[in-house]
Amino acid sequence: MPYPRALVHHCLFASEQEDEEEDTTISLTTMLAACASSVTPFYHPDSAGDKVFFDEEASRHAEILIKACGLDPRKATFADMEALNVRVECVPCSKRQRLGMGWRTALLHSLKKHYATDGGPITAHWSVVRDTDDLERIYTAEDHAHRYRWGVKILRCPVRGCKTQFVGNERESYGIDWHRAVAHKDLSCASNLSMVCGYPSAVRF
């Protein structure tokens, strides 16, 4: 999982309890993490143990995708990728059908469909969709994919000056929340949900 979901993942949290010495001291880290949600329990780093580790395989998939989008994987951040607002196409899968998707969906597609074991070669390769007609078909397909939901509308990032927007249900603003958490460093929007909740799925075009 990417940052900041790792900060609010349930494995890192436990109920706040007084110890045997009745020490009720709460660290700044605890307070900040607890502010992420009114129902979020307190943060306890010790409760993580060996449950959180660096995912080498996911990192390799991300590196391929980031390079395809024209950024340096050693420096690019989640916010940098968001700012690109690109749609990409999975080259190997395009032999069967053309699939267009945003970068978040692309990363999970790569891990699910092109997973490599034991450090083997990754078969996923990406092409940024630049043709205006192709992009129009992708945006139209994304729009149609959401229209079966009640209250579908354009969801725009409320941060002044930001032009990011998604098509979705106004009651399911997870896509915008993820964007605000990582692009604008608003951890109050961080949640233990997949980064593709409320985010456009892969579409045929």
158-199, pLDDT tens digit by residue?
888 887 777 666 555 667 787 888 778 787 777 766 777 767
Q: Taking the CA of residue 162 as centre, how many other CA atoms within 13 Å lie in the half-sphere pointing to its CB?
A: 19
- Residue 98 is predicted with a pLDDT of 92
- Residue 169 is predicted with a pLDDT of 60
With a CB cutoff of 8 Å and minimum separation 6, the contacts of 155 are 165, 166, 167, 168, 170, 173, 175, 176, 198
- Which of the two residues, 43 and 99, has the higher pLDDT score? 99
Q: How confident is the model at residue 117 (pLDDT cuts 50, 70, 90)?
A: confident
- Residue 132 is predicted with a pLDDT of 96
- Residue 133 is predicted with a pLDDT of 97
User: E strands within the chain?
Assistant: 88-90, 99-101, 126-128, 152-156, 165-169, 203-204
- Residue 42 is predicted with a pLDDT of 47
Does the pLDDT at position 8 exceed 70?
no
Does the pLDDT at position 200 exceed 60?
yes
- Residue 38 is predicted with a pLDDT of 42
Contact between 42 and 14 (Cβ < 8 Å): yes
- Residue 178 is predicted with a pLDDT of 75
- Which of the two residues, 27 and 145, has the higher pLDDT score? 145
14-59, pLDDT tens digit by residue?
544 445 555 555 554 555 555 554 444 444 555 555 666 778 888 9
Q: Where are the domains of the chain?
A: 1-15+24-53, 56-204
Q: What is the largest CA-CA distance in the chain?
A: 68
- Percent of the chain at pLDDT > 70 equals 63
Q: How confident is the model at residue 146 (pLDDT cuts 50, 70, 90)?
A: low
